[in-house]
Amino acid sequence: MNNRSKKINFNHSFIFFLTCNIFSLIALKINTFTISPFICLLLILSIGISHGSLDNIKGRKLFQILEINSFYIFYLAYILIALIIIILWIFIPYVSLIIFLVVASYHFGKEDTQFLIIENSFYNQFLFFLKGSLIIISPMYFHFDETILIFKLLLIENENFYNFLDLIESNNLLLYCIILSTIANILLFTKNFELKKFTIFLDYFSILIINYYFSPLVAFTIYFCFLHSIRHIISLISELDENNISNGFKIFIKKALPLTIITAIFCVISLYLLYKTYNFDSAILKIIFIGLASLTFPHILLEYLVEKNEK
């Protein structure tokens, strides 16, 4: 990624950091300040989902590299993987959740940092995982009971799983995990140092701030939509038109809109069906987290295959 894009990402992180501080002050002054699960869902269905809505373009690039002409296979494979994740979540929810949290930690850490780190070594991949784990560990550390409640709403009923989490929490292991993530941030920051790497610490403190002041769902929504997704969108815009950001943004909107709308429609239909069995907020939580899990796996797999085959 060129220096212009790095500067844009730095400015984005700085604005996000300031915004997090402003909203945290509002939350501090107004104890009842929160964002409803429905607003969180709308944000994720619009801003959040759109950052992966160009996967069909990346899929076409992959198929061209592999010299596969039948592109409909891509859509079938993508949908099939998503459906398999949903089915696995229904039958082995706690295993699916653990795998999702591990994969999400790596994914968040990598995509939020790789524009600053060129070397793709195993050491760096491990640091990405530790860095991204902050998004998973922070809500558990600051709002343990609320996080456990979300897990239970996501069909996780295994008592041994909760006993294990209680053991981790009671022995203060969550704090040690945050310390490990902090060390990973420091190591990534000092590696081949440049001024724009202060982005790493701006993001680090932003994540801690929003998880301290807001509920796990609200904190995740703020991070996922306004830091992670927008950062990914910035990289996509840069790829679409490196010389004209404004034009790249217009192209992105045009190309992202169809799949974003289709995905949103499926989510609304699923919400309607779930609402017949669960209360509204519980149905929304299932749509957000199980739905994101089903989309995250094919998204990450595609990113990996494109990166591997381009090399």
Q: Which residue has the higher pLDDT, 193 or 280?
A: 280
What are the domain boundaries of the chain? 3-30+39-310
What token pair was written down for 106? 């790596």
Query: How does pLDDT run across 24-66, given as a tens digit for each residue?
Result: 888 877 777 778 999 999 999 999 999 888 899 889 989 998 8
Query: How does pLDDT run across 261-271, given as a tens digit for each residue?
Result: 999 999 999 99
Query: How does pLDDT run across 136-180, given as a tens digit for each residue?
Result: 999 999 999 999 999 999 988 888 999 999 999 999 999 999 999
Task: Please report which confidence band the pLDDT of residue 244 belongs to, taking 50, 70 and 90 as the band edges.
Answer: confident
Strands (E), the chain: none
The reported pLDDT for the residue numbered 89 is 94
Task: Please report which confidence band the pLDDT of residue 275 belongs to, taking 50, 70 and 90 as the band edges.
Answer: very high
Cβ–Cβ contacts within 10 Å for residue 126, how many?
14
Rounded Cα distance between 54 and 257, Å, is: 9
The reported pLDDT for the residue numbered 146 is 95
3-state secondary structure 117-184: CCCCCHHHHHHHHHHHHHHHHHHHHHCHHHHHHHHHHCCCCCHHHHHHHHHHHHCCHHHHHHHHHHHH
pLDDT over 70 percentage in the chain = 99
Distances (CA, A) of 280 to 60, 71, 208, 248: 38, 38, 29, 38
Does this model's pTM top 0.85? yes
What token pair was written down for 84? 């398999």
